[in-house]
Amino acid sequence: MRIGMNSIVLSSIAIAAASTFATADLVEFEGIAPPGGDVLLFDMYSELGWEFRELVNDDFRIVSATFGGTQLTNPTGDFGFTQGATTTTIEVRHETGGAFDFLSFDAAMLFGGGPGDHVITGFLNGGGTISQTITVPKVASNGGAMQTFALDWSDLLSVQIERVSGIWTGYDNFNLNLVPAPGVLAMFGLAGFAARRKRRM
């Protein structure tokens, strides 16, 4: 039995593609704000192809972990962006407009604000929504750490986070996974099939 070079290449492509699509992106907002400072975002921030937009009002910024005496337990500097005193709704989506999995994120109420209730709404690919209300704690009540909220929602086109009580929500470490289009999956499925067929010849 001989295994041709083409079948090896096709197998490698299929395996590499599967590994790529299985790996989620971690959006960390690092290296943006100066130590002890902040950066006003003016409506939108993009990282690794993920877009974060404010939908209501204009107090939307990336903040250093030591800004305003916050002292978050984040060893890498920036802790993410804030949904400030006036911004009440933010949106997360991928720049391609493709479907994605919304796995988890970290949040805390900053500068003495909170705890605060937030309504998270996912807009499903194909129509419909899914929602959940969470209570974000004061950062000081959690030993300086942010709390991780694991949702594990799948096949979304966008997510909106609306703060309904409290002020100054801080976010970090969005765990997001872009879902490959059906045509892409079919292409790599055919590549794998062709490789298996070659091995039988």
Return the bridge partners of 169, or none: 83, 109
Q: If you ran DSSP here, which 8-state letter would residue 138 be given? A: B
User: Which tops the pLDDT comparison, 103 or 61?
Assistant: 103
Residue pLDDT, tens place only, 78-99: 557 777 767 789 999 999 999 9
- Name, of 5-9, 32-36, 66-70, 122-126, the range with top average pLDDT: 122-126
DSSP for residue 56: S
Residue 120 pLDDT > 60 = yes
The pLDDT of residue 141: 61
Here the CATH number for the domain that contains residue 138 is 2.60.120
Domain that holds residue 158: 5-200
Rounded Cα gap, residues 62 and 109, in angstroms: 14
> Structure pTM?
0.78
Helix (H, G, I), strand (E, B) or coil at 129: strand
pLDDT of residue 170: 86
Q: How many domains would you assign to the chain? A: 1
User: CA end-to-end span of the chain, whole Å?
Assistant: 7
